[in-house]
C-alpha cells in the first residue's frame, strides 16, 4: 500500500513540475491563446482539508496539489486541478483529477463580482465515487473586508452515494493588511439529504503571506461532527474531522 501511495505522489509531483515549467515558459512568452491566458499554481501542505474533512486520511498521505487554468478575455475559463487523496472508507482512492468550466465577472457598477463554475471530481481507480458540483459565488468589498457568499449544490449523487444530494452554504470573509498579511476564513454548512445522510457545520481561519515568490498559509480547521453524527460519528469519522492546524506552501504563475 505504501508503494502505491509513493508511486501516486511521485506521478503528481512530476505532473506539477511539468506544469510549472510550462507555465513559467508561457509567462515569459507573454503571449495569448485564443484570446485567453494561462495561469496555475502548485503546492504542498501538512494536510488537505475540504469542508472540515481531511482528504488525505488525517495526514497519512502527503498533501500535494496543483491546478492549471486557461482564462478568456470574456470571463469564461476552463482548467483542471489534481491532488493526492486517501480515504480509509474507500481504499482504492489515491488521487483526484478534477476538470472545471466557469464564468466570472462583475454585475454592472454594483461592485459585486460573481464566479460560477461546474467542477467534476474524479477519483482514480474508484469511478463510483465521481460526482459533480455547481459552484455559485458572489463577492463584494465592504471597506477593507471582502465578503464572499457561496452556494454549491451537487448535480448528481454526492461522492457516488446513491440517492444522496448535497448543498454547501458558506461565507468567506477576508482582508489584507499593509504588511502584506492576508487574514481569511470560512463558515459553512454542508447540507446532505438522503437515506441515512446528515449535514454538518465547518469553519476555518488562517493567515497567509508571500515570501520570495512563495505563498505561506497557516490555517485552523474544525467542524461540529461528534459521535452522534449519522455519517461520520464513528472513530474513523471523528479522526478525519478532528480539529487541526495546516501549514501550506504554494507557488502561483
Given a contact cutoff of 8 angstroms between Cβ atoms, the answer to whether 150 and 170 are in contact is yes
Q: Calculate mean pLDDT across residues 38-43.
A: 96
Task: With cut-offs at 50, 70 and 90, classify the pLDDT of residue 31.
Answer: low
pLDDT digits (tens, 9 = 90+) for 118-152: 999 999 878 889 999 999 999 999 999 999 999 99
Q: What angle do CA 26, 214, 47 make, to 5 degrees?
A: 110
* Grid-cell match 469542508, residue found: 51
Convert the pLDDT of each residue in 1-10 to its tens digit: 333 333 344 4
CB-count burial class (<10 Å; 0-12, 13-18, 19+) for 94: buried
To the question of pTM greater than 0.85 for the whole model, the response is yes
CATH architecture of 2-252: Beta Barrel (2.40)
Instruction: Tell me the pLDDT band of 19, cut-offs 50, 70 and 90.
Output: very low
What pLDDT band is residue 61 in, cutting at 50, 70 and 90?
Answer: confident
Tell me which residue of 73, 89, 65 sits closest to 13, measured CA to CA.
Answer: 65
- For residue 5, the SS3 value is helix
- pLDDT tens for 183-238 read 999 999 999 999 999 999 999 999 999 999 999 999 999 999 999 999 999 999 99
Domain limits of the chain? 2-252
Q: And the C-alpha cell for 153?
A: 449544490
Amino acid at each position: 500500500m505504501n508503494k502505491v501511495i509513493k508511486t501516486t505522489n511521485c506521478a503528481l509531483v512530476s505532473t506539477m513540475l511539468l506544469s510549472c515549467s510550462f507555465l513559467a515558459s508561457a509567462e515569459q512568452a507573454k503571449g495569448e491563446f485564443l484570446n485567453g491566458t494561462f495561469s496555475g499554481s502548485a503546492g504542498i501542505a501538512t494536510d488537505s482539508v475540504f469542508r472540515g474533512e481531511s482528504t488525505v486520511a488525517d495526514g497519512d498521505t502527503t498533501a500535494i496539489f496543483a491546478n492549471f487554468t486557461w482564462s478568456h478575455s470574456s470571463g469564461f475559463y476552463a482548467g483542471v486541478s489534481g491532488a493526492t487523496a486517501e480515504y480509509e472508507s474507500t481504499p482504492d482512492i489515491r488521487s483526484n483529477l478534477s476538470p472545471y468550466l466557469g464564468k466570472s465577472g462583475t454585475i454592472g457598477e454594483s461592485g459585486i463580482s460573481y464566479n460560477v463554475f461546474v467542477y467534476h471530481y474524479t477519483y482514480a481507480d474508484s469511478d463510483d465515487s465521481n460526482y459533480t458540483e455547481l459552484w455559485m459565488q458572489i463577492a463584494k468589498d465592504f471597506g477593507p473586508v471582502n465578503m464572499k457568499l457561496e452556494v454549491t449544490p451537487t448535480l448528481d449523487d454526492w461522492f457516488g452515494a446513491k440517492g444522496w444530494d448535497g448543498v454547501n452554504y458558506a461565507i468567506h470573509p477576508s482582508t489584507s493588511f499593509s504588511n502584506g498579511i492576508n487574514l481569511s476564513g470560512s463558515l459553512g454548512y454542508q447540507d446532505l439529504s438522503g437515506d441515512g445522510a446528515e449535514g454538518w457545520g465547518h469553519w476555518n481561519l488562517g493567515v497567509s503571506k508571500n515570501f520570495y515568490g512563495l505563498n505561506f498559509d497557516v490555517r485552523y480547521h474544525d467542524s461540529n461532527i461528534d459521535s452522534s453524527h449519522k455519517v461520520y460519528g464513528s472513530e474513523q469519522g471523528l479522526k478525519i474531522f478532528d480539529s487541526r492546524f495546516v501549514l501550506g506552501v504554494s507557488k502561483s504563475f
